[in-house]
Amino acid sequence: MLPMSETFILIPGRTTDQGCGVSEGKFNDRYQKAINALQVAPGDMTRLGLTEGDRVRLTGEEGQTVEVCITAAKKDELPEGLLFIAYGDISSRMMTGDTHGSGMPTSKGMEVTMELIQKVVA
Amino acid sequence: MTSGSTQAHAPTPTIPGELKVIHDATCTFCGCVCDDIELTVKDNHIIEAKRACALGKSWFLNHSVEDRPSCTIDGNPASLEQGYDRAAQILTTGKYPICYGLSDSPCEAQRVAVSIVDWINGTIDTTTSVCHGPSGMAFQGVGEVTCSLGEVANRGDMILFWGSNPAESHPRHFTKYSLMPKGMFLPNGRKDRTCVIVDVRRTKSAKAADIFIQIKPKKDFEALWTLRALAKGIELDPDLVHRETGVEFSVWSDLMDRMKACKFGVIFFGMGLTMTRGKHVNSEALLALTRDMNAHTRFVAKPNRGHGNVTGADNVVSWRTGYPFGVNHARGYPRFNPGEYTTSDTLANREADCAMMIACDPMANFSQPAREHLATIPYIALDTKETPTTRSAAVAFAVATYGINTGGTVYRMDDVPIPLRPAFASPHPSDYDVLTAIELRVKKILGIT
């Protein structure tokens, strides 16, 4: 039985691999790998029965959805309840068009629900 | 050579098989704009970049001459002349033309882009609007007490990073400017400094901190306002502060005591403030705190700018139009209104009917509504690399890389102008070349002499 979806806060950001990947080429492996890996806190992974490589669906506040594979965040880098992903297509899909009069769409701190859709094949 | 041309700083010829060394080359990957890089060039490839960080090394070593057409129209190879003609036609037939990007172009090219937008009564915006645009709005509301990075290196004994992860976004920030340098008034370098990092997660930068404060997500404004109250001696409810910020009141109180006791405090801030709930109000809170602290000691603030010449774009657009980004010329004079004339909005609201994207990749980085609309309108793209944006462009120009193939001027994050020292030539045209050619044709079509 798949776990019910749970609410998290998504934090996109720069990583070294993503930044280097920009220069190597956005269609190359390093960039694609960096922007398509969702970091989950180890405690959350244990609690939810998630495994490295599982595929999850994120749903944003306006119903926008993405599917992405997860990876465990290192040690205590990410507090439970937060998710991290490098800037890229996945994080862009979770941004809505509303900039609240600032020109800046909300690009960090988005509330999302996360549900498991496919366990990784061993 | 025309005035403003980047050819004044053209690279010296490369002899096949021989090594050429470029001293004090300028890296333009991030806003640190390190200008002490030693490049070794062989056969039009940079094979070594001494003193460059991981991001800079990748920038230099991966920007060789791209073996693809300098111009494509609807994905098919075309001559540059055909590309310039088509681009000018697109820009002059639209009712709401927009021009966006510019943060990886030299100032000389940015200036031409502003001219084009002026001629076509269009809207010019830069990547600032999705970076520190909110901070730019805050500057106008509160003001910026600031200094150069040199002053930070020589004087800054308390360095705070708020919502910024320089270890991954500006890897030489600590060593070159903010934590490690032995300054004129800080002879012991790192030992003379206290580093405080405030963030919602324990980033890689946190390892460098003496004090790491993990706050609740989306509570930066509340935390900064707590510090403002402490700076002004206003009594607060400790339980409320703890509930709101996720951090005990005693931690904020201790931090404020340290801030008051320092000689020269510096707050660097990043996307953790501008991209979350509050946006420009978060930046205002930080800038107001900085201003408040000057009642006790010297304190300054500086946004960590992400791209090599986004600060140059702010400067060029400001001195040409009076405003730093999001500037509309539809009425024949410049008007500034973030949220109306900024590109995220003109695209997501389906207002723009044509565009020119210069040194940027909105098809990768913008919201889905904005990307969906951009895919439906004709646009021109200039980039050194193939990107999602160039792949869908009506006219795409593969341009020479600034700082590697072409010269010019860029602005470091602290508004210090720095020249580029290119390494080898490229057969592709520069941004300046392309934009100058398009401007010529735009003026001809519009009958402007």
Domains of chain A: 6-118 (2.40.40.20)
Residues B168 and B261 in one domain: yes
% of chain B surpassing 90 pLDDT: 94
Question: Which residues on A lie below 8 Å from B364 (Cβ)?
Answer: 26, 88-89, 92
Residues B148 and B271 in one domain: yes
Question: Which residues on B lie below 8 Å from A15 (Cβ)?
Answer: 168
Residues B318 and B290 in one domain: no
Residues B138 and B127 in one domain: no
Query: Is A94 a residue whose pLDDT tops 80?
Result: yes
Cα B383 to Cα B105: distance, rounded to the nearest angstrom: 9
- Identity of the residue in B29, B62, B344 whose CB atom sits nearest the CB atom of A103: B344
Residues B279 and B342 in one domain: no
Question: Which residues on B lie below 8 Å from A25 (Cβ)?
Answer: 62, 385-386
B123 pairs with which residues across the strands?
Answer: B98, B328
Question: Which residues on A lie below 8 Å from B349 (Cβ)?
Answer: 97
* CB A84 within 8 Å of CB B201: yes
Domain count along chain B: 2
Assess if residue B440 is contained within a domain.
yes
Tell me if residue B436 falls in helix, strand or coil: helix
Which residues neighbour B286 within 8 Å (Cβ) at sequence distance 6 or greater? B138, B162, B224, B267, B269, B273, B301
Residues B148 and B296 in one domain: yes
Cα B26 to Cα B34: distance, rounded to the nearest angstrom: 6
Name the average pLDDT for chain B. Answer: 96
Residues B196 and B217 in one domain: yes
Residues B98 and B156 in one domain: no
Q: What is the mean pLDDT of residues B291-303?
A: 98
* CB B214 within 8 Å of CB B206: no
Determine whether the interchain pair B367/A92 forms a contact, defined as Cβ–Cβ distance below 8 Å: yes
Residues B210 and B190 in one domain: yes
Assess if residue B342 is contained within a domain.
yes
pLDDT at B18: 86
Report, in angstroms and rounded to the nearest whole number, the Rg of chain B calculated over CA atoms: 23
Assess if residue B3 is contained within a domain.
no
pTM score, two decimals?
0.95
pLDDT tens digit string along B115-147? 999 999 999 999 999 999 999 999 999 999 999
- Residue B399: give the domain boundaries: 71-131+308-404+426-446
Query: Is B29 a residue whose pLDDT tops 90?
Result: yes
pLDDT at A1: 38
pLDDT at A4: 58
Residues B313 and B384 in one domain: yes
Query: Is B1 a residue whose pLDDT tops 60?
Result: no
> Using 50, 70 and 90 to split pLDDT, how confident is the model at A83?
very high
Determine whether the interchain pair B134/A15 forms a contact, defined as Cβ–Cβ distance below 8 Å: no
B209 Cβ under 8 Å from any chain A Cβ = no
Instruction: Check which CATH number belongs to the domain holding B142 and give it.
Output: 3.40.228.10
pLDDT tens digit string along A18-73? 999 999 999 999 999 999 999 999 999 999 999 999 999 999 999 999 999 999 99
ipTM, 2 dp? 0.94
Assess if residue B38 is contained within a domain.
no
Output the DSSP codes for B310-349.
HHHHHHHHHHHHSSSS-EE-TTSS-EE-TTTSSHHHHHHT
pLDDT at B9: 64
Q: Which residue of B lies nearest to A32 if distances are taken between CA atoms?
A: B364
Query: Is B2 a residue whose pLDDT tops 50?
Result: no
Strand pairing report for B395-398 and B71-73:
antiparallel
Question: Which residues on A lie below 8 Å from B103 (Cβ)?
Answer: none
Strands (E), chain A: 6-13, 37-40, 55-59, 65-72, 82-86, 110-118
pLDDT at B272: 96
Assess if residue B7 is contained within a domain.
no
Assess if residue B246 is contained within a domain.
yes
- Identity of the residue in A25, A26, A82 whose CB atom sits nearest the CB atom of B201: A82
Residues B126 and B154 in one domain: no
- Identity of the residue in A20, A82, A105 whose CB atom sits nearest the CB atom of B55: A20
Instruction: Check which CATH number belongs to the domain holding B437 and give it.
Output: 3.40.50.740
Residues B290 and B161 in one domain: yes
Report the residue count for chain A: 122
* CB B207 within 8 Å of CB B193: no
Determine whether the interchain pair B129/A104 forms a contact, defined as Cβ–Cβ distance below 8 Å: yes
